[in-house]
Amino acid sequence: MTAVAPVARKPMNLHRLREMHAQGEKITMLTAYDATFARLVDDAGVDCILVGDSLGMIVQGHTSTVPVTLDEMVYHTRCVARGNQTAWIVSDLPFGSYQESREQALRSCVALMQAGAHMIKLEGGGWTTEVVHFLTERGIPVCGHLGLTPQSVHALGGYRIQGRDEAGATTLRKHAAELAQAGAAMTVLELMPSAVARQVQDENPGMMVIGIGAGSGTAGQVLVLHDMLSITRGKLPRFVRNFTAEGGSAEDAVRRYVAAVKDGSFPDETLHAY
């Protein structure tokens, strides 16, 4: 019997992601910082690759993301772009690369996009709205990031759940609405009660909300690859699931992650949510 070749995936784009969101198909995202893992997660069917400044902790051994530089983000984005063939690449603006001015943010975005990024992610709400509007007007797809924003970990008093009280939840919802109005096509919500994240998604139906420790009521999910492969040492956050527990290869684990997000079995509200 002649083997049937697998159907090649078409490169992901923003239009296709929006179509998936409109049709209720969950969006999958994982981090990658090099060409080898980028190729692996792409081959396994992940929709989006996040070149996160989490590489400061995962790759470089820092205790936070703050030391990561723009040059380092450009280098890792370039590596990921070489290994990737079809996934949508989202790259982080690191601390200090966009806080000074809109013009500084634009220069940083240009460097990342010339390295291969398709979308740029920045942290925070309120003051970032003007920056997001400035960037999107100039044709740069932007992803926001609210809730636990690791670059602000010292100001937040550590890695704490955000939006637990009414005032905090109201602020998160306000900032999310402002980001959507400014043109952010996507926003990551990190470490918050699932009810708050669900509200944010419901109130901003045109924006793709990607959760990490934010429950199942979002448009999609993201995890740090090394966490879900159980490579990271030490205690992992509650929202992480070890997808290697069933055995097989790393690619098998990523395929299980993709399937679990798509069918809604991950995250499990009783195990992985707050």
> Does 195 have pLDDT greater than 70?
yes
Which of 226, 227, 209 lies closest to 218, judged by CA? 209
pLDDT grade, residue 110 (50/70/90)? Answer: very high
Model confidence over 207-263: pLDDT tens digits?
Answer: 999 999 999 999 999 999 999 999 999 889 999 999 999 999 999 999 999 999 999
Work out whether strand 220-223 and strand 119-121 pair parallel, antiparallel, or are unpaired: unpaired
Work out whether strand 220-223 and strand 142-147 pair parallel, antiparallel, or are unpaired: unpaired
CB 17 within 8 A of CB 208: yes
CB 92 within 8 A of CB 55: no
Model confidence over 21-49: pLDDT tens digits?
Answer: 999 999 999 999 999 999 999 999 999 99
User: Which structure tokens are listed for 73?
Assistant: 């983000």
Question: What count of residues does the chain have?
Answer: 274
Out of 13-27, 145-159, 187-201, pick the least confident.
145-159
User: Which structure tokens are listed for 239?
Assistant: 């929202």
In sign, the C-alpha dihedral spanning 35, 41, 42, 47 is negative
Which of 225, 215, 270, 274 lies closest to 250, judged by CA? 225
Which of 49, 50, 51, 47 lies closest to 20, judged by CA? 47
Phi, psi of 145 (to 5 degrees): -155, 115
Which of 165, 159, 190, 189 lies closest to 177, judged by CA? 189
pLDDT value for 4: 42
Which of 42, 47, 4 lies closest to 28, judged by CA? 47
User: Which structure tokens are listed for 129?
Assistant: 């709205």
pLDDT value for 6: 47
User: Which structure tokens are listed for 26?
Assistant: 């969950």
Task: Kindly state the DSSP code that residue 143 receives in the 8-state scheme.
Answer: E
pLDDT value for 84: 98
Q: Is pTM, for the whole model, over 0.85? A: yes
Model confidence over 183-194: pLDDT tens digits?
Answer: 999 999 999 999
Catalogue the E-assigned strands of 113-175: 119-121, 142-147
19 is catalytic: no
CB 116 within 8 A of CB 80: yes
Catalytic position from the list 190, 203, 246, 269:
190
> Does 159 have pLDDT greater than 70?
no
